[in-house]
Amino acid sequence: MDLFNYQRRKTGTVNIGATPLGGSYPIRLQSMTNTSTRDTMGSVAQVKRIVEAGGEYVRLTTQGVAEAENLRQINAALRQDGCMVPLVADVHFNPAVADVAALYAEKVRINPGNYVDPARKFEHLEYTDEEYAQELQRLHDRFVQFLNICKKQHTAIRIGVNHGSLSDRIMSRYGDTPEGMVESCMEYLRICVEEQFKDVVISIKASNASVMVRTVRLLVNVMDGEGMDFPLHLGVTEAGEGEDGRIKSALGIGALLADGYGDTIRVSLSEAPEAEIPVAKKLRDYIVAREMHMPIEAEAAPNFDYLHCVRRKTVPVHDIGGDNVPLVIAARFGEQHVFNPDFMPDYVYVGRNLPQTLEEDIRYIVDADVWKGEPNTYPAYKKDFLPFISMNPVSLKFLFITYRDLDEEVLACLKYHPEIVVICQSNHINRVGELRAVAHKLMTRELKNPLVFIQHYAEQELEDLQIRAAADMGPLIFDGLCDGIMLFNNGRLTDPMVDQTAFSILQAGRLRMVKTEYISCPGCGRTLYNLEETIARIKSATAHLKGLKIGIMGCIVNGPGEMADADYGYVGAGRGKVSLYKQKLCIEKNIPEEEAVERLLQFIEADRKL
């Protein structure tokens, strides 16, 4: 993998019905139905809507043998209507269901956390080495039975690891770590290699995009070390809906696509399944457009660890860099400046247009050649004005540069002036590569000036800005290079919309909490309540709780596991019943659905009064 130049990772080809994956094939798009898999015609209708939107695979939940058996009817009805999209069965807890599903689906997804291991109870288990080996043998023997069926039926499989459903066995030996997630996957992949079964796709997902990115990077490294080239399915699970779902998904998936990883993607939104496909398509097309770009000549910094990234060490300049949370700089020109007080930028760049009347609570950045030292204003230089930097004694200065600007003169200036905050920009089609190159050159020269990334766009639709800006910032955030973000959009979007997008990107990267965060699943046939209505009700009641994380899960599969990453959780427990969690601890079971939202709010309010 080249940090600075885009190219797709080389993988083997997996045959999935009439739509192969990996190798030289394009990055495929997929979604998942939220109908009951026993509902043949309802499922068929929804599959068709997903396909009409551009979906190339469709997954259906098969929580029991009856659902797996009914895949035969769904498959037959689709083929009769000329719809040849491959169907993917989603199996949890019962390997016998996977055996049946393999007869009627083109691909079967199994979850290593609960395929053979029992459902997670968050118990620490002690194993001797011999006992652990026996558990692995049990896993091996059962999994081989399934592989033999898949070989006979020409059925592909997905080994789909979820952070929220790692087994107690893996957790007890490896802890809640990316390494544990990778090993959970590798146990199964090694059996596939041993059995010479090649039609395998892998996914490792988490609701925390940072965990997801780090784990996939680590998995690819481990696979490379063992000579494996299985293709990857990418997704951020429980990403949510609306702005949050789009930004979190684009941040995580985009960071990996930018590095050439990923052969199929799903943007998991708590919305209608067909709504996921246009978002995924925009994200995929934006990244692959940089194929065959002009090369970027750069070298990785000697001490940079791609697999275990930490924040780049910088000297704090006022409230920028060091241990400070990354800042947001907004762009405003003209006399009328409109802001959303909930997403107030830390600094405002006004170029040469400092307003006649200055707001006391706003810090302005002004082009250095017109800066006159007004209170709460700071000069911004360009390369042409470097000789004048030493003449200015102010303790905070900004310097706009590109990678091409970063010559010996600029590097010497930065070394002599640690009070300079670098604002880096790129017009390259692979802007991620050039912006990374700037950071790595600074690290190689041991320069510790804070680094802010400015991203220019000309989007007319807010969704397009959210997807592109998050995808561009993802690698920079997860590499630990970001001390701040400045978004500029030359389009019809309002300035407050652009500001909110910048803050939401930082929150999705877990760098700065500015609003309530909702970790909500997209729903599937296991969901036994109206997910979208419930999310809306919970959001309406809790949107003022800045920094709180609330999980909203349709069922138990990932619920308790993802609760560990949320402060409170709302999890479907059965038809019309909901269980409430505080982190991963269940605090009340089987509450009637009509009472559950109010009870959740009561728990939150009671804790806030303590």
User: CATH number of 517-609: 3.40.30.10, 3.40.50.300, 3.40.50.1110, 3.30.413.10?
Assistant: 3.30.413.10
More confident position, 359 or 73 = 73
Q: What percent of the chain has pLDDT over 90?
A: 78
Integer Cα distance of 176 and 181 in angstroms = 8
> What is the pTM assigned to this prediction?
0.94
**pLDDT confidence bin for 291, thresholds 50/70/90:** very high
Q: Is the dihedral of CA 131, 133, 135, 138 positive or negative?
A: negative
Which pLDDT tens digit goes with each residue over 480-538? 999 999 999 998 999 999 999 999 999 999 999 999 988 888 778 877 778 888 888 88
Among left, alpha and beta (phi > 0; psi -120 to 50; other), residue 292 is left
Average pLDDT (83-93) is: 96
Instruction: Tell me the backbone φ, ψ of residue 438, rounded to 5 degrees.
Output: -60, -50
Average pLDDT (426-447) is: 98
The tokens describing 463, both together, are: 């969704």
Which pLDDT tens digit goes with each residue over 380-393? 999 999 989 988 88
Instruction: Decide: residue 24, CB within 10 A, 0-12 exposed, 13-18 middle, 19+ buried.
Output: exposed
Residues 6+ apart with CB under 8 A from 556: 119, 571, 572, 573
Which pLDDT tens digit goes with each residue over 332-344? 987 789 999 999 9
Neighbour-count burial for 236-246, b at 16+ CB within 10 Å, e otherwise: bbbbbbbbbbb
**pLDDT confidence bin for 563, thresholds 50/70/90:** low
Which pLDDT tens digit goes with each residue over 221-266? 999 999 999 999 999 987 788 999 999 999 999 999 999 999 999 9
Integer Cα distance of 474 and 478 in angstroms = 6
pLDDT at position 9:
97
pLDDT at position 335:
75
Q: Where in the chain is the domain with CATH 3.20.20.60?
A: 327-508
Q: Where in the chain is the domain with CATH 3.30.413.10?
A: 517-609
**pLDDT confidence bin for 164, thresholds 50/70/90:** confident
**pLDDT confidence bin for 449, thresholds 50/70/90:** very high
Q: What percent of the chain has pLDDT over 70?
A: 98
Look over the chain and give the mean of its residue pLDDT values, rounded to a whole number: 94
* 3-class DSSP state of 601: helix
pLDDT at position 241:
84
Which pLDDT tens digit goes with each residue over 349-395? 999 999 988 888 999 999 999 999 999 999 999 999 998 998 888 99
For residue 584, the one-letter residue type is K
Q: Are 365 and 330 in contact (CB under 8 A)?
A: no
pLDDT at position 286:
98
Does pLDDT of 561 surpass 80?
no
**Which of 38, 17, 152 has its CA nearest to residue 83?**
17
pLDDT at position 585:
85
pLDDT at position 559:
60
Does pLDDT of 294 surpass 70?
yes
Average pLDDT (272-294) is: 97
User: Kind and range of the H or E element at 21?
Assistant: strand 21-22
* 3-class DSSP state of 256: helix
Q: Are 185 and 204 in contact (CB under 8 A)?
A: yes
Integer Cα distance of 21 and 597 in angstroms = 42
How many CB atoms neighbour CB 100 within 10 A?
A: 23
Number of DSSP helices (H) and strands (E) in the chain, helices first: 16, 23
User: Kind and range of the H or E element at 497?
Assistant: helix 495-508
CATH topology of domain 13-288: TIM Barrel (3.20.20)
Alpha helix stretches (DSSP H) within 384-542:
408-416, 431-444, 462-478, 495-508, 531-542
Integer Cα distance of 106 and 109 in angstroms = 10
Domain 327-508, CATH class in plain words: alpha beta
Integer Cα distance of 239 and 223 in angstroms = 27
Q: Where in the chain is the domain with CATH 3.20.20.20?
A: 13-288
Integer Cα distance of 326 and 74 in angstroms = 50
Integer Cα distance of 206 and 184 in angstroms = 14
